[in-house]
Amino acid sequence: MRKRFITVVYLTIPTALWFISHGYIVSQYSQRSMPNIARISGKDKMGESDILNKEQHKDGEVSNDGSEKCSATWGTFGNGSYLTGSQINEHPTNWPRDLCSTSQCNDEYFVESMQFDGLFVHPPSQFAICTIQKNACSQWRSVLRKLFDDNPDRANVPDHFLPKKSRERYHARGIHSVFSNPKATRVVIIRDPLARFASVYMNKCFRGGCKNPLCYARGKTQKGRPISFHQAIDWMLSQDPARINGHWSLQSEHCNLKHQLNHYTIIVRYEKDTMGKDASCVMEMAGIANFNVRNRSGDPFWVDLSETTIFNKMYRQDSEVDILKKLYTSTAARQLMEKMREDYELFRLPTPSWIDKATGEWFDTLDYNRCNAS
Task: Specify whether the CB–CB gap between 77 and 83 falls below 8 A.
Answer: yes
Of 190, 187, 159, which is closest to residue 288 (Cα–Cα)?
187
String of DSSP letters for 123-150: GGGTEEEE--TTSSHHHHHHHHHHHHHT
The letter for the amino acid at 374 is S
Buried b (16+ CB within 10 A) or exposed e, 96-106: eeeebeeeebe
Report if pTM > 0.85: no
Size (the chain), residues: 374
- In order along its 374 residues, the chain shows pLDDT tens digits of 444 444 444 445 555 554 455 543 333 333 333 333 233 333 444 444 444 444 444 444 556 555 579 999 999 998 889 999 999 999 999 998 887 766 566 555 455 545 567 999 999 999 999 999 999 999 999 999 999 999 999 999 999 999 999 999 998 889 999 999 999 999 999 999 999 999 999 889 987 888 999 999 999 899 888 899 999 999 999 999 999 999 999 999 999 999 999 999 999 999 988 999 999 999 999 999 999 999 888 899 998 765 443 333 444 555 789 989 999 999 999 999 999 999 999 999 999 999 999 999 999 976 554 676 55
Which residue in 322, 319, 323, 328 sits closest to 363, CA to CA?
328
- Given a contact cutoff of 8 angstroms between Cβ atoms, the answer to whether 76 and 90 are in contact is yes
CA distance 248 to 199: 10
First to last CA, the chain: 32
- As a whole number of Å, the CA-based R_g of the chain is 21
> Which residue stretches of 250-351 are H helix?
257-260, 275-286, 319-327, 330-339, 341-346
Would you tell me how many other CB atoms lie within 10 Å of the CB of residue 244? 15
